[in-house]
Amino acid sequence: MTTREMLKIVREQLAVDLNCQPEDFSREKDSFVFAPAKDNPGRRPFRRGKQFFEMVTMGQSIVVSATPARLEYAREQLAGRQRDDAFALPFIRGHVLCYLPDLDHRPCIAQPQGFAYETIRQDQIDGLCDLQGFPNAIQYDDSHPVRNVMAIVAGLDGDVAGVAGAFGWSPVMWSVGIDVLPAYRGNGLAAYLVNTLTDEILQRNIVPVYTTASSNIASQRVGYRVGYRPAWMSDRKLEFEGELRN
């Protein structure tokens, strides 16, 4: 897989999710594309409330996908706005940054010594929920449609120190999450686990995506250390006064 192929896969998946065209993400910088929300076959199985809204940019135009009332409101509020202003509007509740690996500049991450490492594959994944304290790496909600598909677990003296988990966004994209317990931080364990899991995903010809909140600087540092680079940004949660919340 090349970087160009990876970006093509991402644009095609996001287009399915937001009910738009892949080329809509590459329009001129300050343009907006408004698309009515639709449950297209193959979309990432995130839960959607009755008042669904998502706003995404890959660095040029912004694609807004929403149910009718929210889409019309967003169109009014974004009229005359520039791209960077759009994500600072008062009804935006946080940002999610999504990173892709730089396939040409992936570093070699040394394995922290003293830990035992285990790769958990899909046929063993049910046992992950027995490990508590790793909400960014493990899907604990049995009813959630986005499930773990793989994990790398690090242990020390019989205790679990950290987990990097992969979530099955789609057949072509898996999301990577990481948790290291406070007592085991600062020794490169997070970077090693994320890097190892990324290798496993790439070997399956699947696109790995590292996600983090825009305020989580520590997580962003892990991503950069492993060779992940920004690819797109989405709103984290959108609420309009007087409308139902997701």
* pTM score: 0.90
Sheet holding 116-120, edge to edge: 32-36, 62-66, 53-57, 228-235, 95-101, 207-213, 173-180, 159-170, 148-156, 116-120
Q: Which of 193, 245, 201 is nearest to 219 (CA)?
A: 193
What is the three-class DSSP state of 119? strand
Q: How far apart are CA 190 and CA 221, in angstroms?
A: 10
Mean pLDDT per 10-residue interval, the chain, length 246 residues: 94 97 91 94 86 90 92 90 85 88 93 96 86 93 91 95 96 96 95 97 97 93 96 75 42
For 227-240, write each residue's pLDDT tens digit. Answer: 999 999 998 765 44
For 30-72, write each residue's pLDDT tens digit. Answer: 799 999 999 999 999 888 877 788 999 999 999 999 999 889 9
Tokens 């300050």 sit at which residue? 30
What is residue 91's predicted lDDT score, i.e. its pLDDT?
Answer: 75
Task: For 40, list phi and psi in degrees, rounded to 5.
Answer: -70, 145
Its CATH class, for the domain covering 116-226, is: alpha beta
What is residue 237's predicted lDDT score, i.e. its pLDDT?
Answer: 66
What is residue 244's predicted lDDT score, i.e. its pLDDT?
Answer: 40
Q: How far apart are CA 172 and CA 15, in angstroms?
A: 14
- What 8-state DSSP symbol labels residue 70? H
| Domain range list for the chain | 3-100, 116-226
Q: How far apart are CA 46 and CA 36, in angstroms?
A: 17
Q: Which of 129, 180, 130 is nearest to 155 (CA)?
A: 180
What is residue 24's predicted lDDT score, i.e. its pLDDT?
Answer: 96
What is residue 246's predicted lDDT score, i.e. its pLDDT?
Answer: 38
Query: Which string of DSSP letters, residue by residue, matches 136-175?
Result: TT----TT-SS-EEEEEEEEETTEEEEEEEEEEEETTEEE
Q: How far apart are CA 62 and CA 29, in angstroms?
A: 8
What is residue 223's predicted lDDT score, i.e. its pLDDT?
Answer: 96
Long-range contacts of 136-141 (CB under 8 A, 24+ apart): 136/165, 136/177, 136/178, 136/179, 137/163, 137/164, 137/165, 137/177, 137/178, 137/179, 138/163, 138/165, 138/179, 139/165, 139/167
